[in-house]
Amino acid sequence: MAVACALDAPDPDTLLAGALARDLDRSFERLVIAYRTRIVEFVARMLHDNARAEDVAQDVFVRAYRALQTYPAERTGELRLRSWLYAIAHNLTRNAVRDAPPRSDSLDFDDGEPRAALADPDPGPEEALLRAVAWDSVAEAIGRLSPALRPAFVMRYVDELSYDEIAASLEQPVGTVKASAHRGLLAVRAYLEKNDA
Amino acid sequence: MPEISPDFTTAICARIGLDRYITAESALGGVYVAWSADGVSAVRQSGDEEAFEAWYAERFERRCVPAIEDDSIATAARAKLRGEDADVPIDLHECSEFEQRVLRKAAEIKGGGARPYSWVAREIGSPGATRAVGNALGRNPVPLLIPCHRVVRSDYSAGGYVFGGEAKRALLEREGVNFGAIGEVVRRGFRYVGCDDGYFCLPSCGDIASRLDEPGFLGLHSLEEAHEHGLRPCRTCRPMAA
């Protein structure tokens, strides 16, 4: 995959990282435009709070800018922007989610039972199921996901990041984020089935 | 999912100390319009990005970079520069308190009219500060949006302008200022013009611009003369302040 990319034309993120490395100020609005929708939506899902999402998403970009100011150009040029921004967004939303009072009806499959599904983390049909149901219900289910499962689930099934990118964003092993995303998926599906019934 | 505000990027730029600019069309051709989160901070002739950015950094001590997208401030500024009615927030933080008073006063002058520098000085309560008024207008960071071109010399010649005196005169003429007739009034030694509606005006008052070409207007040499004719000062041009 990496080899194939290297042989193709550079992807937009590589070009953007290069532009940021050359002149951060002149290229920064490009970064905001490229990622604002994703980041605002990700934050909204993580916080389960649309009203605060824009403010927190702005914090994400301010943090990103301040970090880029301190990076040498080589480091900026080699950044994997997507997972890097999600990592900042995750860090900023994590505390807010953790500090929020736990919901008594929080969805969490962490019952200590090993699940057969974890052996095959490729969701396939479940992903299609998620797309088919009303978004309101999914958003409600995401809001009820436990903080441990929510970021990996949202990054994988809503924002469609690769497991490598999610692992980089969350600073967790790939196996762990696969498990979290899948457990989140099972929890969301169970919630949807229960509430549709 | 939440709607993203058109000022999303502007709020971020405000926090990281980065201003942006666009190129907009105006009555004087292309201009750079720079803005912060507080409003438009600069309007300058377009043409040389590097020179503009260097001038901006020097004057405002902030970096200004080309914008990719318009926000609500840029949209309003474009409309206003096209001649449409638009409420454009202006950022005058960099101007002194005196300069701000001068510029706010200049902003009140409606198109079609002009006022002498001394008029502005009196109106802001600093009657001796005519020269300082001229300097403040010369430093106007947002020409066209704050119409400093509508402030002229006491003989109603155009005077200086950041885009050049010729451009100033052309702009005023386009707005309806009748330089020929005003010059004639001044040449005949009149300071005010009496109108048949019971008011008297400055020769450059926008309300009488079209009537100056008609024969038989009442030229007045002084305020006393206006009082003798029982005329009251025009509420638009407030001639007592000149």
Using alpha carbons only, what angle is made at residue B7 by residues B2 and B8, rounded to the nearest 5 degrees? Answer: 55
Higher per-residue confidence, A52 vs A60? A60
Q: Judge whether residue B3 has pLDDT over 90.
A: no
Mean pLDDT of B24-36: 96
Rounded to an integer, what distance in angstroms lies between the CA atom of residue B242 and that of residue A183?
79
Q: Judge whether residue A109 has pLDDT over 50.
A: no
- By Cβ distance, the residue of A29, A36, A57 closest to B67 is A29
pLDDT digits (tens, 9 = 90+) for B141-175: 999 999 999 999 989 999 899 999 999 999 999 99
> Which residues does A39 contact at the CB level (< 8 Å), separation at least 6?
A57, A60, A61, A85, A86, A89
Question: What pLDDT score was predicted for residue A190?
Answer: 86
Rounded to an integer, what distance in angstroms lies between the CA atom of residue B14 and that of residue B35?
10
How many angstroms separate the CA of residue A31 from the nearest CA in chain B? 10
Mean pLDDT of B106-120: 95
Is B148 considered catalytic here?
A: yes
Question: What pLDDT score was predicted for residue A112?
Answer: 37
Q: Judge whether residue A110 has pLDDT over 50.
A: no
Q: Is A31 on the interface with B (CB under 8 A)?
A: no
Strand partners, B192: B220
Return the structure tokens found at A183.
């457990």
Question: A160: which DSSP letter?
Answer: -
Asked if A53 lies within 8 A of B2 by C-beta distance, the reply is yes
pLDDT digits (tens, 9 = 90+) for B40-91: 999 999 999 999 999 999 999 999 999 999 999 999 999 999 999 999 999 9
Place of tokens 């007045």: B220
Higher per-residue confidence, A181 vs A134? A181
- Answer whether B169's CB lies under 8 Å from B153's CB: no
Rounded to an integer, what distance in angstroms lies between the CA atom of residue A177 and that of residue A149?
9
pLDDT band, residue A118 (cuts 50/70/90): very low
Asked if B68 lies within 8 A of A33 by C-beta distance, the reply is yes
- Answer whether B16's CB lies under 8 Å from B73's CB: no
Q: Is the whole model's pTM more than 0.90, yes or no?
A: no
Q: H or E stretch including B119?
A: helix B117-123
Asked if A62 lies within 8 A of B65 by C-beta distance, the reply is no
Asked if A41 lies within 8 A of B15 by C-beta distance, the reply is no
- Answer whether B81's CB lies under 8 Å from B70's CB: no
pLDDT digits (tens, 9 = 90+) for A91-104: 999 866 666 555 54
pLDDT digits (tens, 9 = 90+) for A135-174: 677 788 888 888 889 999 999 988 889 999 999 989 899 9
Place of tokens 């500060």: B129
How many angstroms separate the CA of residue B70 from the nearest CA in chain A? 11
- Answer whether B124's CB lies under 8 Å from B105's CB: yes
Q: Is A29 on the interface with B (CB under 8 A)?
A: yes
